[in-house]
Structure 1
Amino acid sequence: MANPSTSSGPLTEATSSGPSSEARRRPPEIPAWRRKLWPYLLSVPAVLIIIGILYPFVLGAIYSFLNYAAVNPNPKFVGLRNFGSVLTDPTFWGSVFLTLAFAVVATAVETVLGVAIALLLNRSSLIGRIFERVLILPLMIAPVIAGVIWKLMFNPQFGILNHVLGLGSTFDWLSKQNAFASIVLVDLWIFTPFVAILVLAGIRSLPKEPFEASSVDGASWFYMFRRLMLPMMWPYILVAVIFRFMDNLKVFDAIYVLTAGGPGVATRTLQIGAFEDSIIRFDYSRGSTYMFILWIIVFITARYLVKALGKAQARAAGSES
């Protein structure tokens, strides 16, 4: 009987002549031209997004130097005439003041309330866990829908706020005297949860050892908050401030639904002014000038806030005195 180990049958020859297991596991070689092309293919979505952002921006900037309007479909270059007309208009400066006032007041109150809510939610309790899940609901509502809901609630005759607060039917939330405070109130309701959730995430990411050591030494809660928690969570607070301040400078939808810039010019921000000039009066160049000036304000403010954020992060990391 022949020894199977020494036999040289067809199976042994096929095994010896076939590719090894290592060769079978080796991936196929990618051609050099495909390796060179791959980075460019990966950058295509980013390039398309950049084009989608830059094209309307550049087009609007060009319009601000033309006299383009519905009554003038063949615009001509007019230089800085639109800027001179806008900057000498008292209504424009009123819009600038309202825009900055709304951004500062809304951002400041949202930040204070958001930090306070985050500190309360950081304490483990059943009510806190329930409220933490309910807190995100205003963020799930579109600002336009939220504006419609609050406008119904603000109605003097059948609005629920006057009924619950016992203000009668004479108190008008959207009157000239109260409109600014009302739009700030709506913005607080929508976006304070955003600040609270962001700050709460920052609090829960802080190291526990410094707080435990301070507690052993008998430090009070306020001392630990002022000396330990606040310096470490300051970068998170600044991130929330940057997001909210930039967004409040550009807000349009909720304000337009609530007041459309009125009564009079009580809530006529820069965005409302640009909308009135471009869409209502069909003066596209003047509306573009409004938005170009707003972009300059946002750009300068963003540069300053981002620089402040970098310094706060360096101090929190201990790399800057």
Structure 2
Amino acid sequence: MATQTEGRRTTDAPAPKSSGKPEVPRWRRKLRPYLLSVPAVLIVIGILYPFFVGAWYSFLNYAAVNPNPVFVGFANYVSVLGDAQFWSSVRVTGTFAVVATLVETVIGVIIALLLNRSSIVGRIFEKVLILPLMIAPVIAAVVWKLMFNPQFGVLNHVLGLGNTFDWLSSQNALFSVILVDLWIFTPFVAILVLAGIRSLPKEPFEASEVDGASWFYMFRRLMLPMLWPYILVAVIFRFMDNLKFFDVPWVLTAGGPGVATRSLQIGAFEDSIINLDYSRGSTYMFLLWILVFITARFLVSVLGKAQRRAAGAEN
């Protein structure tokens, strides 16, 4: 009797409730990851396709006067590497990248240290600091070009230089381009380093302050080692960008006077767009890519070591 009752209870047990949503077919579940990866694949194709086409052009003699190019091997590279103007562009690019990145980093760290001190002036300046980053570099270069004008520019009158000092002459042009780049992008370094300072743990500094350590000692022994990864991130961003600088020197000087501010990017633009020698311009860009790639790999390896040292994993 008990067995019949148990069997009836089992039979009469209510079926599990359905969620009300139709079950997703198995083939759709398998297809979903591939569909989600389609945008990333399209972006990669959109990046790699022009890159490989440009690299292929560097092995042709493709130009407006030669619409039916043929394969010439490394002839373009031999021609470009044997051109004194190319090495002048390398010197200008390297000088600008090193000097601008170094000065922006030093000034950015100093500004971040000053803004880290709580004060009304510091909070106001922190909000104003971001304004140069909100202006397009081309617009900023146009404004600075007007300020550099020796006849009616405001800089000569404010500094008492008269109307004879030419900021964009062959001797001063590169310095002026660096000055404009400093004004635009130093706030980026300062904001990044300031975020790093405010993320550091406070306990080591409080303990050192109780022990009577000076501010310089705490900065050199505590803050700077922990802050190195943030500083190196700023250096990587700015150095990579400065190796590819184009807009500011082109607006200010169009690569001149002479070759004073002719960077590798400007050289590629002149050959490809102005002279319509597409293969030579592609050669410039591929050599620039090699320079950027090697530099980026080195800086990223340095950043990895700094992160491991800051985490205590490396002595």
Q: TM-score, normalised by structure 1?
A: 0.92
Do structure 1's residue 118 and structure 2's residue 112 form an aligned pair? yes
Equivalent of 2:236, from 226, 239, 242?
A: 242
Q: Deviations over 1:171-209 (max 9, x none)?
A: 110001100100000000000000000000000000000
Equivalent of 1:167, from 140, 161, 165?
A: 161
- The one-letter code matched in structure 2 to 1:220 is S
| Displacement of 1:34 | 1.1
Do structure 1's residue 184 and structure 2's residue 178 form an aligned pair? yes
The 2-side partners of 1:128 and 1:317 are apart by: 30
Q: How does 1:276-291 map to 2 (within 5 A)?
A: 276-291=270-285
- The one-letter code matched in structure 2 to 1:194 is F
Residue 260 of structure 1 corresponds to 254
Partner secondary structure for residue 99 of structure 2: helix
- The one-letter code matched in structure 2 to 1:182 is S
The 2-side partners of 1:125 and 1:25 are apart by: 58
Residue 12 of structure 1 corresponds to none
Q: Deviations over 1:71-130 (max 9, x none)?
A: 000000000000000000011001001101100000000000000000000000001000
Residue 5 of structure 2 corresponds to none
Q: Deviations over 1:250-271 (max 9, x none)?
A: 0101110011000001111111
The 2-side partners of 1:68 and 1:160 are apart by: 46
The 2-side partners of 1:34 and 1:46 are apart by: 20
Equivalent of 1:66, from 60, 64, 71?
A: 60
Equivalent of 2:46, from 38, 44, 52?
A: 52
Do structure 1's residue 226 and structure 2's residue 220 form an aligned pair? yes
| Displacement of 1:27 | 4.9
Do structure 1's residue 102 and structure 2's residue 93 form an aligned pair? no
The 2-side partners of 1:209 and 1:77 are apart by: 65
Do structure 1's residue 201 and structure 2's residue 195 form an aligned pair? yes
Do structure 1's residue 31 and structure 2's residue 25 form an aligned pair? yes
Partner secondary structure for residue 23 of structure 1: coil
| Displacement of 1:163 | 1.2
Partner secondary structure for residue 17 of structure 2: helix
- The one-letter code matched in structure 2 to 1:208 is K
Residue 293 of structure 2 corresponds to 299
Q: TM-score, normalised by structure 2?
A: 0.94
Equivalent of 1:214, from 208, 213, 217?
A: 208
Identity of aligned residues (%): 80
Ranges in structure 2 where 5+ consecutive residues have no aligned partner: 1-11
- The one-letter code matched in structure 2 to 1:86 is V
Ranges in structure 1 where 5+ consecutive residues have no aligned partner: 1-16
Q: How does 1:137-156 map to 2 (within 5 A)?
A: 137-156=131-150
| Displacement of 1:26 | 6.6
Check 1:219–1:26 CA distance in 2 against 1; reply closer, same or farther (3 A cut). Answer: farther
- The one-letter code matched in structure 2 to 1:296 is I
- The one-letter code matched in structure 1 to 2:37 is S
| Displacement of 1:51 | 0.9
Partner secondary structure for residue 283 of structure 2: helix
Partner secondary structure for residue 157 of structure 2: helix
The 1-side partners of 2:297 and 2:193 are apart by: 22
The 2-side partners of 1:256 and 1:215 are apart by: 50
Do structure 1's residue 79 and structure 2's residue 76 form an aligned pair? no
The 2-side partners of 1:290 and 1:107 are apart by: 23
- The one-letter code matched in structure 1 to 2:225 is P
The 2-side partners of 1:285 and 1:198 are apart by: 39
Residue 10 of structure 1 corresponds to none
| Displacement of 1:134 | 0.5
Partner secondary structure for residue 62 of structure 2: coil
Residue 7 of structure 2 corresponds to none
The 2-side partners of 1:232 and 1:23 are apart by: 56
| Displacement of 1:29 | 2.5
RMSD of aligned residue pairs (Cα, Å): 1.3
